[in-house]
Chain A
Amino acid sequence: MLEVDVAVIGGGAAGLAAAIKAAENSKVILLDRNDELGGVLPQCIHDGFGNFIFKKMLTGPEYTQFFIDKIEDLPVDVKLETTVIDIKKDKRIIAISREGLLEIQAKAVVLAMGCRERTRNQILIPGYRPAGIYTAGTAQRLINIDGILPGRRVVILGSGDIGLIMARRFKLEGAEVIGVYEIQSSPNGLPRNIVQCLEDYNIPLHLSHTVVNIHGLKRVEGVTVAKVDGNLQPIKGTEQFIPCDTLILAVGLIPENELSKEIGIPIDTVTGGPFVDNYMETMIPGFFACGNVVQVYDLVDDVTLTGEIAGRYASFYAKGILNQTRRIPVFRGRGIDRVVPQFIREDSKDVTLYLRVKNIIRDAKIYVRDPNDNIIYETKRRIVKPAVMEKIRFTLKGFYGNLTVGVER
């Protein structure tokens, strides 16, 4: 049995950052099921990563190369093609690898398994099950890592950033992209991607539309699309058959928490990830979580930052120098859809909260209140949107009790 201070599960942006940070003062093992480090970043060949940390617009591979180079210079035990199948409450980890069954005893564990894509099953599109239906990420991997173009005439469902990026990618590789269909009445992706991935290439975006049927027995031969009403229900009589050989699904991401649930770590049903405090510790002592396993972040920079926090405090825990203090809950107040972390350690000073609002508000005021409704922090934004995660930072001066975050005009 291997014995380590900190075991990091997952070698994407979050896990890399956590392992690098934890290695500053403890013995670290990093486990990943893929054959190379970086998680999803090596296949995200477009630019736009690292604006916050590096002050540059890097591609995914460039962003991750920096951390891979760094970890190779550290005494971190990196195990690739190693899938963790079980983690016990006492932090014993069972994994399968090319070496056979691995047993690792850790003092602290960092969960950094990331997220996965929603599939056809989760959006219930009827029809046959022919070849030619891919999630956007699978198509991205096929094209950018394996060098395979999975289709020639493509329909994309969902206007999230991955869907938009793949529309451009298919076009550049010579495929015909018939259009992007979005069930909501406004696009999900960043304006930058609407402009540079669709408008630049004359790819139409059809809002309030969805795919209601998939045709073809062996290979996709077409899809039926329809307009939807205010309740997102298809409107009879608006159906239209579109011949195509490929349907790309870009319909959202879900934090991947099967392992966390088996350990018994409490999960926030709003975010789909573990409840964490501002040290990224879950509700079970010594288990930390970071990056997209906690919630799906907009920016990889924030994934890295949460990874560094989790790594640092996991190593403190392993060394027995992490103070156990009470935690103050942070409640979702008016206009707030979600907030992470959901708890703040009482002995904290500087606090960062990530939040999503429920509605678009111009000239918005985001505030934090104590139990007596005193405002302890306030900041203004010209506009807040559900599609854009907000980040607020403030300093705690003394004890407040429960905090509530809200937003108003």
Chain B
Amino acid sequence: MKITCIKCPLSCSIDIKKEEGGLKIEGYECEVGRRYAIEEMEKPMRILTTTVAVKKGIHPVLPVRTEKEIPKNLLFDAIEILSNIIVEAPIQYGDIVYRNICGTGVNVIASRDIKRI
């Protein structure tokens, strides 16, 4: 598979494929890029940011994030869960909105304070 490295402005286009006896990796210019390509092939991870509904807040939605990266293939499952969550104001920055999303062990937390009306 082809991977665009995002670790520096060089943006190397890296070719990576599984071969007998290991991986064949071409087109990287540094160790950081090589490791990134392997990670992207084997287990790509992403931070998820979105909003959840808020009751009695100064805004109708609260921005939230996964505390750490979660596997990329779980992004839409996580979104599905979070689209059904309603929290009630007041909310404080860092409050846990959802624990252990999709069994990843990662919590979803509030990105800001929301005052109650």
Contacts from A to B (Cβ < 8 Å): 42, 45-47, 57, 59-62, 64-65, 143-147, 172-173, 190-192, 194-196, 199-200, 382-385, 388
Cβ-defined contact, A147 with B60, below 8 A: yes
B63 touches A146 (CB 8 A): no
In the assembled complex, B72 has its CB within 8 A of some CB on chain A: yes
Apart from A61-B93, A195-B4, A195-B6, 8 more pairs, CB < 8 Å = A45-B49, A45-B65, A47-B47, A57-B47, A59-B111, A191-B4, A200-B72, A383-B10
A388–B61 touching, CB < 8 Å:
no
Q: Which residues of B contact A143 (CB under 8 A)?
A: 51
Identify the 6 closest CB pairs spanning chains A and B, nearest first.
A61-B112, A45-B63, A147-B61, A147-B60, A192-B6, A61-B111
0 or 1 for each of B63-84: is its CB under 8 Å from A? (1 = yes): 1010000001001000100000
25 chain-A/chain-B pairs, Cβ below 8 angstroms: A45-B50, A45-B111, A47-B47, A47-B65, A60-B111, A61-B63, A62-B65, A62-B112, A64-B112, A65-B112, A144-B61, A146-B59, A147-B51, A147-B53, A147-B61, A172-B79, A191-B4, A191-B5, A191-B11, A192-B6, A194-B4, A196-B46, A383-B10, A384-B9, A385-B9
* B113 contacts chain A at the CB level, 8 A cutoff: yes
Task: Give the CA-CA distance A388 to B79 in the complex, in Å.
Answer: 32
Are B61 and A42 in contact (CB-based, < 8 A)?
no
A50: min CB distance to chain B, Å: 12
Q: Which residues on A sit within 8 Å (CB–CB) of B93? A: 61-62, 65
Q: Please, how many angstroms separate the alpha-carbon atoms of A191 and B8 in the complex?
A: 9
- The CA of A10 and the CA of B24, in the complex, are separated in Å by 53
**Shortest distance between the CB of A64 and any CB in chain B (Å):** 8
From residue A238, how far is it (CB to closest CB) to chain B in Å? 27
Residues of B within 8 A of A190 (CB): 6
Enumerate chain B residues within 8 angstroms of A194, measured Cβ to Cβ.
4
Which of B46, B49, B61 interacts with A59 by CB under 8 Å? Answer: B49
- CB-nearest residue of chain B relative to A193? B6
Interface size class, chain B: 20 to 34
- Taking CB atoms, residues of chain A closer than 8 Å to B51 are 45, 143-144, 147
Complex Cα gap A46–B11 (Å)? 21
**Separation of A314 and B6 alpha carbons in the complex (Å):** 39
- With A and B bound together, what is the CA distance between A62 and B61 in angstroms? 15
- What's the minimum C-beta distance from A387 to chain B, rounded to whole angstroms? 9
Decide: A46 and B4 in contact? CB cutoff 8 A: no
Report B101 CB to chain A, min CB distance, Å.
14
Tell whether, in the assembled complex, residue A59 and residue B4 are in contact, meaning their CB atoms are under 8 Å apart: no
Residues of B close to A145: CB separation below 8 A: 59, 61
Q: How far is the CA of A385 from the CA of B79 in the complex (A)?
A: 35
> What is the bound-complex CA distance between A172 and B48, given in angstroms?
10
List residues of chain B with CB within 8 A of the CB of A172: 50, 75, 79
CB distance from B102 to the nearest CB of A (A): 15
With a CB–CB cut-off of 8 A, which chain A residues contact B4? 191, 194-195, 199
Q: Which residues of B contact A191 (CB under 8 A)?
A: 4-6, 9, 11
Complex interface: chain B residues within 8 A of A57 (CB): 47
Q: Which residue of A lies closest to B51 (CB)?
A: A144
* Residues of chain B within 8 A of A173, CB atoms compared: 50
- Residues of B close to A62: CB separation below 8 A: 65, 93, 111-112
CB distance from A360 to the nearest CB of B (A): 10
Q: Which residue of A lies closest to B8 (CB)?
A: A382
CB nearest neighbor in B for A174: B83
| Bitwise interface map of B from 5 to 17 toward A, beta carbon under 8 Å scored 1, else 0 | 1101111000000
A146 and B6 in contact, given A45-B49, A62-B93, A196-B46 (Cβ under 8 angstroms): no
Contacts A59-B111, A62-B93; A382 near B10 (Cβ below 8 A): yes
Closest to B53 in A: A147
Residue of B53, B72, B75, B112 with most partner-chain A CB within 10 A: B112
Shortest CB-to-CB span from A143 to chain B, Å, is 7
Closest B residue to A43 using CB positions: B63
Q: In the complex, what residues of B have CB within 8 A of residue A382's CB?
A: 8-10
Q: Contact: A144 with B63, CB < 8 Å?
A: yes
- With both beta carbons as reference points, the residue of chain B lying nearest to A381 in the complex is identified as B9
Please report the C-alpha to C-alpha distance between residue A385 and residue B11 in the assembled complex, in whole angstroms: 11
Contact A59 B59 (CB under 8 A): no
Complex contacts, B53 vs chain A, CB 8 Å: 147
Return chain B residues, CB-CB under 8 Å to A147. Answer: 51, 53, 59-61
A residues near B59, Cβ cutoff 8 Å: 145-147
What separation, in Å, do the CA atoms of A144 and B5 have in the docked complex?
A: 29
Q: How far is the CB of B98 from chain A (nearest CB, A)?
A: 16
A395 to chain B, nearest CB (A): 26
CB distance from A78 to the nearest CB of B (A): 15
Considering the chains assembled together, what is the distance between the CA atoms of A45 and B63 in angstroms? Answer: 6
